[in-house]
Structure 1
Amino acid sequence: MNINDTLNIFQYLVLGAVSTVYLALFAIVLSGIGGLCLAALLLQKYAILRYCALTYSFTIRGIPLLVLLVGFYFSFPYLGFDFPPRVAAVIVISAYFAAHMAEVFRGAINAIPRGQWDAGRSVGMRNATLLRIIILPLAMRLVAAPFLNVSLSILKSTSLVVAIGVWELASAGRELEQRTGAALEIYLAVAAMYFVLCFALSLASRRIEKAFQYVH
């Protein structure tokens, strides 16, 4: 390959990486929100809510993500939902990793000393208010590291969406490999880009973690 071919390949992979970043960011945000809601249900005093959240969490974590992606994407039309592949991918990945995020938030919340709960209740706070004003801000300092681990898993799992026709970094690599036949070079470049993306996410997470430590 000459220099022009190499530059064209690099540019094409960068476009795929940008698509991967957008897909991962949407999934991280939505799974974080879903995980926080699930964690709140898991901490409810009402048994029915806890059991529903536990059932969802254990069920979803016991099924491979690829099976969920393919199964739900091709089942959506029969259920009356005809989502575009990218939207379906975000929904499934977010729903899947929400169960993992729930354990992250629940573990952090449970790690807060019981005295903080008792102090809030002693001044008449309800659980929802206590959770929002006191417990969650304290728990954020404990969430950063495990949240990063799940976020990295989300980023790497976006490569599975090629199974339902979503174009991203892994898809771009496969297309280039089929065009050029240079499998080793192409997939080494794809792996290097995934490493750069994961490393950048790790750095961003470290900065956020330090910011929370400084604020609280």
Structure 2
Amino acid sequence: MNDTITTERPRAGAAAAIQALSAGLLAVERLAIMGLMFLLSGLILLNVVTRYSGMPIYWIDESAVYSVVWLTFIGASAMTRLRLDFAVTMLTERLPEGQQRVAKVIATGLVVVFGIGLGVMCWLWMDPVGLAKAGFDAREFAGQTFNFLYTERTQTLNWPTWVLYLILPLFAVTMTVHGLANLVEDMGLAPRVPLRGFVLSDVDGVN
């Protein structure tokens, strides 16, 4: 009996820690989404005004594109925790209740696997270890590995492209954490917690 209680407490503590980490990330993502939406609206409005006035600003289009990219990935991460990601239930809705729960756990587990896999791919692609071995010299690193990620710059903003591509590993990490939080809830290791800052009706979630 004591061994069972001792085993369950660390599991519950770990599950609660994952949920707390996910909640913190979700709060940051909410602010980032609002900020990017405000920025995108401002860029579009500024673009319209400057074009009609005959003084277009050449870097606005590229800024708007990258704002949409970051907004998309951050929003997709938040949707994972909010369980607003798409789900095809043509098969699972015909299964018994117990098998439906198993199917949901498997689907949520695949989200975690995808996030981890994307993180590994980003690590191999960005190769921070190789960059450190090259003394953080982008040209030396490109010459050794033929990876020109750290030497490329955007066309109009002239920003390093690797800075903008950081959204990919960030997305991999946040989606993995949100997937783990959903997984511990689906497995019954922790009760579902209310997600602050988001008003959702019962019909909003599909997963």
Instruction: Tell me the TM-score normalized by structure 2.
Output: 0.38
Instruction: Tell me the TM-score normalized by structure 1.
Output: 0.37
Is the radius of gyration larger for structure 1 or structure 2? 2
